[in-house]
Amino acid sequence: MAEAEESPGDPGTASSRPLMRDLKAVGKKFMHVLYPRKSNTLLRDWDLWGPLILCVTLALMLQRDSVDSEKDGGPQFAEVFVIVWFGAVTITLNSKLLGGNISFFQSLCVLGYCILPLTVAMLICRLVLLADPGPVNFMVRLFVVIVMFAWSIVASTAFLADSQPPNRRALAVYPVFLFYFVISWMILTFTPQ
Amino acid sequence: MASADDLAFHEFEEATNLLAETPDAATTSRSDQLTPQGHVAVAVGSGGSYGAEDEVEEESDKAALLQEKQQQQPGFWTFSYYQSFFDVDTSQVLNRIKGSLLPRPGHNFVRHHLRNRPDLYGPFWICATLAFVLAVTGNLTLVLAQRRDPSIHYSPQFHKVTVAGISIYCYAWLVPLALWGFLRWRKGVRERMGPYTFLETVCVYGYSLFVFIPMVVLWLIPVPWLQWLFGALALGLSATGLVFTLWPVVREDTRLVAMVLLSAVVLLHALLAVGCKLYFFQSLPPENVAPPPQITSLPSNIPLPPTLPQSMAPS
């Protein structure tokens, strides 16, 4: 990440300037994910702050808040965290083993940032769940999750597909599909207690 | 470390001699096809490949001999060693999946489809898909059961994902290990055909699990005899593929050993299928499997919980 630039004149803003720069970089990448174009920004200046923020947000929203159903409930915070990071590392290793020419951290960065649509879906689902439960409620949530799932896949393949030779592209994209499918499933089956 | 050498250099004794002479080298045979090493950030010892270039020139005739065997095994500590197991194209993977779905008596899966180039992509991702599909469809079954009978308590049951993953991966890796070990132990009895390598056995098992994926999805249909029918069909296909693959290796052995081995393989496979069915799909109590008209007669004499009208409405 960016080093802190010491400016001897004003010690008050010396630590906030690189922080603002990093936050701006993260925000710019969020925009790139929401409007996926063929650009290299996500790949060139990779960082893992965005994926960390998104993963923590998602895990906090997904964890079950009641202690009574220990075995039968939804995922714990640690389980979501492990699935996201372990899944991203596995997909990256898979992509590299198949002969892709993307670096390890670039791939982690892309996969992590493309969780953004699904995090937005989780927020919307939590808001929708505040209303009455019922089939309409479920249909709305299903529609939102499906749309965001498709958005995540499109955004990540826009960045990742070019790094593979064409005869192996499907082999590299399928695990990404599985990864976001599992996350979407966790979001869809979330029931507040 | 020695056991890994046995696994990797089972058929290529020249490669062991080569590596014994140059222990620090990470020799790669098709370095022009592999990605530039500069992009490999995870590699362990990838820097060694640059120092080995003059030694590769000296042993170029040995390398040419090995090239005829179409694989030159680098050391197992290098990234390119593992890359050799992912050297498949999309069409090859689909071809292997098709071969496992339609076993034919004459066509040995290993010789015909793998052609002695096993891959790890298929087994790994088929197992991952099967584990997640099991967890998801098991959960869906609970959801559908709750729509029919609201007294069933629905919960996401996330721990089943962990159970599914661990059991599928253990099956797909430990059973081939045991089978491979057993076949190697009996190697002395056979004259004609050598046993399969460990990776070929893992490959056979991995691809044979593919047929369970559509079977599990079809288990969503809540008709019990249909579920057992699908289970039997899928198990039959999968076990047949395994038996046809193992038969050429085992038929030179004594009859007793052959029969015991093949029946053990089929039995373990059946245990896996039945275990999946019972553990992930056990949520339906027997009386609720009755057709819907009997359930809609209940609301008239039972006080309704508030969610009942909303869940009955779509049906």
In a domain, A69, yes or no: no
Say whether A66 sits in a helix, a strand or coil.
Answer: coil
Q: Does A181 touch chain B (CB under 8 A)?
A: yes
**For the purposes of burial, counting CB atoms within 10 Å of the CB of B78, is it exposed (0-12), middle (13-18) or buried (19 or more)?**
buried
Q: Domain limits at A138?
A: 46-61+75-189
Which of A67, A72, A191 would you mutate first to test chain B, the one with the most B CBs within 10 A?
Answer: A72
Per-residue model confidence as pLDDT tens digits over B271-311: 998 888 888 877 555 444 444 444 444 444 444 444 444 44
Q: Does A41 touch chain B (CB under 8 A)?
A: no
Pick from A96, A169, A171: which is nearest to B40 by CB?
A96
Residues of B in contact with A178 (CB under 8 A): 125, 128-129, 132
pTM of the model: 0.73
Q: Does B100 score more than 50 pLDDT?
A: yes
Across the interface, whether the CB atoms of B136 and A185 are under 8 A apart is answered yes
Position of tokens 């959801």? Answer: B143
Across the interface, whether the CB atoms of B128 and A170 are under 8 A apart is answered no
Q: Rounded to whole angstroms, how far apart are CA atoms B276 and A181?
A: 21
In a domain, A32, yes or no: no
Q: What is the mean pLDDT of residues A136-150?
A: 92
Look at residues A157, A180, A27 and name the one whose alpha carbon lies nearest to residue A102.
A157
Residues of A in contact with B79 (CB under 8 A): 96
Q: Considering only alpha carbons, which residue of chain A is nearest residue B308?
A: A134
Per-residue model confidence as pLDDT tens digits over B5-33: 445 444 454 544 544 444 444 444 444 44
Across the interface, whether the CB atoms of B41 and A103 are under 8 A apart is answered yes
Domain count of chain A? 1
Q: What is the mean pLDDT of residues A130-159?
A: 89
ipTM tops 0.90: no
Radius of gyration of chain B (CA): 25
Q: Does A175 touch chain B (CB under 8 A)?
A: yes
Identify the weakest region by mean pLDDT among B12-21, B43-52, B125-134, B299-308. Answer: B43-52
Residues of A in contact with B155 (CB under 8 A): 69, 72-74, 191
Q: Considering only alpha carbons, which residue of chain A is nearest residue B82?
A: A97
- pLDDT of amino acid A69: 54
Q: Which residues contact A86 (CB under 8 A, 6 or more apart)?
A: none
Q: Does A162 touch chain B (CB under 8 A)?
A: no
Residue type at position A92: T
Helices B159-185 and B198-208, axial angle in degrees (round to 10): 140
Identify the weakest region by mean pLDDT among B91-105, B208-222, B281-295. Answer: B281-295
Pick from B33, B42, B90: which is nearest to A96 by CB?
B42
Pick from B90, B132, B158: which is nearest to A171 by CB?
B90
- pLDDT of amino acid B33: 41
In a domain, A15, yes or no: no
**For the purposes of burial, counting CB atoms within 10 Å of the CB of A44, is it exposed (0-12), middle (13-18) or buried (19 or more)?**
exposed
Q: Considering only alpha carbons, which residue of chain A is nearest residue B147?
A: A135
Pick from A133, A186, A189: which is nearest to B307 by CB?
A133
Per-residue model confidence as pLDDT tens digits over A45-54: 788 888 999 9
Residues of B in contact with A99 (CB under 8 A): 33-35, 83, 86-87
Interface A-B, measured as beta-carbon pairs within 8 A, has a size of 91
Q: What is the mean pLDDT of residues A141-158?
A: 92
Across the interface, whether the CB atoms of B125 and A174 are under 8 A apart is answered yes
Q: Considering only alpha carbons, which residue of chain A is nearest residue B157?
A: A72
Across the interface, whether the CB atoms of A135 and B93 are under 8 A apart is answered no
Across the interface, whether the CB atoms of B34 and A99 are under 8 A apart is answered yes
Residue type at position B61: D
Report phi then psi at A46, rounded to 5: -75, 150
Per-residue model confidence as pLDDT tens digits over B166-192: 999 999 999 999 988 888 887 765 555
